[in-house]
Structure 1
Amino acid sequence: MRNDCTDYRQLFLDDVPMMDMRAPIEFGKGAFPGVVNLPLMSDQERQKVGTCFKQQGQAAAIELGHQLVSGAVKQQRLEAWAAFAKAHPEGYLYCFRGGLRSQIVQGWLKEAGITYPRVKGGYKAMRTFLLETTQQAVAQCDFVLVGGLTGTGKTDVLQQLDNVLDLEGHANHRGSSFGKRATAQPAQIDFENRLAIDVLKQRARGTKQFVLEDEGRIVGSCSVPLELYQGMQQYPMVWLEDSFEGRVERILRDYVVDLSAEFVALHGEEDGRRLFAERLLQSMANIHKRLGGERFQRLSELLRQALDEQLRSGAVELHRGWIEGLLNEYYDPMYAYQREAKAGRIEFAGDAREVREYLKARTLR
């Protein structure tokens, strides 16, 4: 018989299967990767019990909970918990604080002949552990940023290293005004949890120095943890360089060819192409004020023509027009200013191969 668990580190390092007893609304606000939500109560049931607790106290609330989750409802949920327990004998269950809800489910499972352990402290304790994991890494580890103009392929370089914290990957966003993917971004808490588990696993493998892309505070809708972002304002930087033509081709690949394919794979040919076109037009509209009226109208018209041609023939060459315009007139001047402001922190500059080799050698110091 396994005991209830407080070794949160090992739970995350081993990707131990866990079932979450919290209500769907709680789970939706933040959860851990791979965890299955098998709630004791629905959102509506939880709300009724909560109201009863405030008005009549704990005993009345517990009694109401047992009335709401009884008979066929209880049996159906018990079968789902039992199926999970049998499929994952090495797993655990938990609720918000590891208290009443998980104890009730544990008791009902035991009555059904299944002894299944819970995580003491529940979601709250594990969440606190992960927040502290990120904070400790910022305090104890070395970090280096990869910067560069838009389209230089910073993500491509990072993906070839073993000690990367991929903020854009965890946020499911490419970081720029046009960086939104075809699939949704995670909730903020999910983003923070994924990042912390990545840190935990890398440190367990012996990583002491992390490489990450130079980002703003917000990656799409996900905020970089404050202590990490504050550190990023001082960390040393490596600057990635590439030709203007190379950058245009890479942006064409990432933001047109690949993004269009993402939408088509998700939504089918017709809807996918339509939603892809809407996404690019909306991304351009999002920087309308920063572009100014004349420039916005001109680049938007180039984009519309390119989308019309892509829809008609599948050709993507016309997209180079608005991409080149955006780089020359918007992104490059902005990044040139940022590079000047960060010049004192740049310890190396080079192309993709040179930067990759430099960063690999840097970790051995």
Structure 2
Amino acid sequence: MTECLPRTAYAELLLGETPMIDLRAPVEFTKGAFPGAVNLPLMNDEERAAVGTCYKEQGQEAAIALGHERVGGAVKQARVDAWLAQVEAHPDSVLYCFRGGMRSQISQRWLAEAGIQRPYIEGGYKGMRSFLIEQSDQMAENPGMVIVAGMTGSGKTDFLVPRNDAVDLEGLAHHRGSSFGRQLIPQPSQINFENRLAIALMQHRRRARQLVLEDESRLIGRTSLPIPLFDAMKAAPRVILEVTTEERIEQILKDYVVEIHAAFVERDGTEAGGEGFCEFLLASLDRIQRRLGNERHQALRQLMTSALSQQLQQGELTLHREWIAQLLSEYYDPMYHFQMGKQPAPVLYRGPKSEVREFLDQREATLSAGW
């Protein structure tokens, strides 16, 4: 078996969702890793810090000796047992540390002594991370990129998700991109978001020529789009979904009231879930208080509070439609028109969803025919 997987294997490893044993310390793993990776460190945070300090003060030999001292006996056996259990569950697992150096080689040797041969990845985390950044930057140059825009509540995400030629940025970020866009699933770290985005763009390149993305600001919640991709998105042509106000109200009601409430109840139970949902919705409104102005914010907050009470006590959603309609007409719609007025990118098509869908399908077919 090959002891070391070369850098040329990066794409296959990442796109193939290869199970990976991340040998770095937990503090390193938390900052960023790869899909399919499980953190089974050679050294924990304390051990890594001690060995690092020893390396700086006394040199490599002393650091290696301290490492074997700290990770020996029962501690070593526990680490090896964890790797063995992972390989038993996922026989095609591979190893990586930060640079594909000593931690990978030591772990590989200990596994071999236990009767299991598994390769480590050349360049380790740092090499694959650099590879993904390069791939993401290359994907930003896709001439087939097109942005789907539309007023708040147009259902842009629902429109995009089923498309084979789309990448769901908000899905990757675990956030809907607005003040009300938080999800119960925590957002990934910035590095994990960038890694997953790069992999999603690589997967897209294998299946479609046209790259369809939703119109986003650079920040999606607290995650940030890579600058090359965001710059390309700002310049890319647009298609615009035209949806009636009534349809937009119902879309927002579904996304931010019905579905979020159901998610809270599923996680926390009826009573606690209802309370958590109320806090969530009111806090979302409070985040835009300064932009709304105190008077308008207080009026909307009072209406929202009444709507929540009506919903939880009677199962009625009428008052929710009222605050949604006001928030659209008084806040989101004027902001959308202002931003569109500054948008220099060309508009390729505008119309109802069925027509925009047909337009994008034809454009993808044309681009693919010349691929």
- TM normalised by structure 1 equals 0.97
Which position in structure 2 is the counterpart of 1:15?
Answer: 17
Counterpart of 1:341, as a letter, is K
1:190-236 deviation digits (Å, cap 9, x = unpaired)? 1111111111112123x222000010010001101110001111100
Q: Per the alignment, in what secondary structure is the counterpart of residue 4 of structure 2? A: coil
- Aligned partners of 2:317, 2:191: CA distance in 1, in Å? 37
Which position in structure 2 is the counterpart of 1:244?
Answer: 245
**How do residues 249-264 of structure 1 correspond to structure 2 at under 5 angstroms?**
249-264=250-265
**How do residues 15-34 of structure 1 correspond to structure 2 at under 5 angstroms?**
15-34=17-36
Contact kept, 8 Å, 1:240 with 1:350, in 2: the verdict is: yes
Q: Per the alignment, in what secondary structure is the counterpart of residue 33 of structure 1? A: coil
- Aligned partners of 2:346, 2:221: CA distance in 1, in Å? 25
1:56-112 deviation digits (Å, cap 9, x = unpaired)? 222111111111111111111111101222332222100010001111101111111
Q: Per the alignment, in what secondary structure is the counterpart of residue 233 of structure 1? A: helix
Could you tell me which runs of 5 or more consecutive residues in structure 2 were left unpaired when the two chains were aligned: 367-371
Which position in structure 2 is the counterpart of 1:292?
Answer: 293
Which position in structure 1 is the counterpart of 2:225?
Answer: 224
Q: Choose which of 192, 195, 205 in structure 2 pairs with 1:203.
A: 205
Which position in structure 2 is the counterpart of 1:182?
Answer: 184
Which position in structure 1 is the counterpart of 2:369?
Answer: none
- Cα distance 1:344–1:50, how it changes in 2: closer, same or farther (>3 A)? closer
Which position in structure 2 is the counterpart of 1:104?
Answer: 106
Q: CA deviation at 1:350?
A: 0.7
Q: Per the alignment, in what secondary structure is the counterpart of residue 318 of structure 1? A: helix
Counterpart of 2:322, as a letter, is G
**How do residues 274-353 of structure 1 correspond to structure 2 at under 5 angstroms?**
274-342=275-343, 345-353=346-354
1:242-266 deviation digits (Å, cap 9, x = unpaired)? 1101000110000000011111222
Which position in structure 2 is the counterpart of 1:63?
Answer: 65
- Aligned partners of 1:18, 1:174: CA distance in 2, in Å? 30
- Aligned partners of 2:191, 2:318: CA distance in 1, in Å? 40
Q: CA deviation at 1:344?
A: 5.3
Q: Choose which of 34, 37, 52 in structure 2 pairs with 1:35.
A: 37
Q: Per the alignment, in what secondary structure is the counterpart of residue 342 of structure 1? A: coil
Q: Per the alignment, in what secondary structure is the counterpart of residue 363 of structure 1? A: helix
Contact kept, 8 Å, 1:161 with 1:356, in 2: the verdict is: no
- Cα distance 1:141–1:353, how it changes in 2: closer, same or farther (>3 A)? same
Contact kept, 8 Å, 1:85 with 1:91, in 2: the verdict is: yes
- TM normalised by structure 2 equals 0.95
Which position in structure 2 is the counterpart of 1:87?
Answer: 89
Q: CA deviation at 1:271?
A: 1.9
Identity %: 52
Which position in structure 1 is the counterpart of 2:116?
Answer: 114
1:282-323 deviation digits (Å, cap 9, x = unpaired)? 111100000001100000101111111222223222111211
- Aligned partners of 1:273, 1:51: CA distance in 2, in Å? 50
- Aligned partners of 1:94, 1:350: CA distance in 2, in Å? 49
1:103-141 deviation digits (Å, cap 9, x = unpaired)? 110111111111111011001111111111111111244
Q: CA deviation at 1:361?
A: 0.9
How large is the RMSD of aligned CA atoms in angstroms?
A: 1.2
Which position in structure 2 is the counterpart of 1:5?
Answer: 5
Q: Which moved more, 1:124-133 or 1:337-346?
A: 337-346
- Aligned partners of 1:114, 1:42: CA distance in 2, in Å? 23
Counterpart of 2:275, as a letter, is R
Contact kept, 8 Å, 1:94 with 1:102, in 2: the verdict is: yes
Contact kept, 8 Å, 1:18 with 1:91, in 2: the verdict is: yes
Q: Which moved more, 1:214-223 or 1:59-68?
A: 59-68
- Aligned partners of 2:85, 2:2: CA distance in 1, in Å? 18
Q: Which moved more, 1:59-68 or 1:321-330?
A: 59-68
Counterpart of 2:294, as a letter, is G
Tell me, yes or no, if structure 1 residue 124 matches structure 2 residue 100: no
Q: CA deviation at 1:160?
A: 2.5
Q: Per the alignment, in what secondary structure is the counterpart of residue 141 of structure 2? A: helix
Runs of 4 or more off by more than 3 Å in structure 1?
none
Q: Per the alignment, in what secondary structure is the counterpart of residue 165 of structure 1? A: coil
Contact kept, 8 Å, 1:145 with 1:238, in 2: the verdict is: yes
